[in-house]
Amino acid sequence: MLSNVDDGLFARTKVAGLVADDAVLTSQRLGVYKPSPQVYRRARERAGGELVHVATSARGVRGALEAGIRVIRLRRPGRRLDPDGPTPPVEVDGIAGVAAALDEGQRR
């Protein structure tokens, strides 16, 4: 799990208790923040393999694509892509769409 926050802030989230600490990569731990492609590159290095980034923000889409990481964009009301930025190859409307896109990607 990659989170664009410091360790202390992440520790106060609802998700923190659901994920093993060693499975969490915060921007603080990686030493760089989104939208820098470097945060995604470092996450891939730490994870030791390929990643898929599920993005809702234009910053997340841009940074991950510029780092060469596969992106599934989860569309959210009021969130738009950067008109001058890269476009993700896959866009979905809900969690079921994310699951289907991940499943499709594994069959390729």
| 62-105 tens-digit pLDDT | 999 999 999 999 999 888 888 888 999 999 999 899 999 998 87
Question: Would you give the DSSP letter of residue 82?
Answer: -
The whole-number pLDDT of residue 108 equals: 63
User: Considering the chain, what is the average pLDDT of its residues?
Assistant: 89
Q: Mean of the pLDDT values across residues 47-76? A: 91
Query: What DSSP string describes 10-75?
Result: HHTSSSGGGS-GGG-EEHHHHT--TT-HHHHHHHHHHHTS--EEEE-SHHHHHHHHHTT-EEEEE-
The whole-number pLDDT of residue 50 equals: 86
Q: Cα(19)–Cα(94) distance, rounded to whole angstroms?
A: 22
Q: Mean of the pLDDT values across residues 8-19? A: 91
pLDDT above 70 covers a percentage of the chain that reads 97
Q: Which domains does the chain have, with CATH numbers?
A: 2-107 (3.40.50.1000)
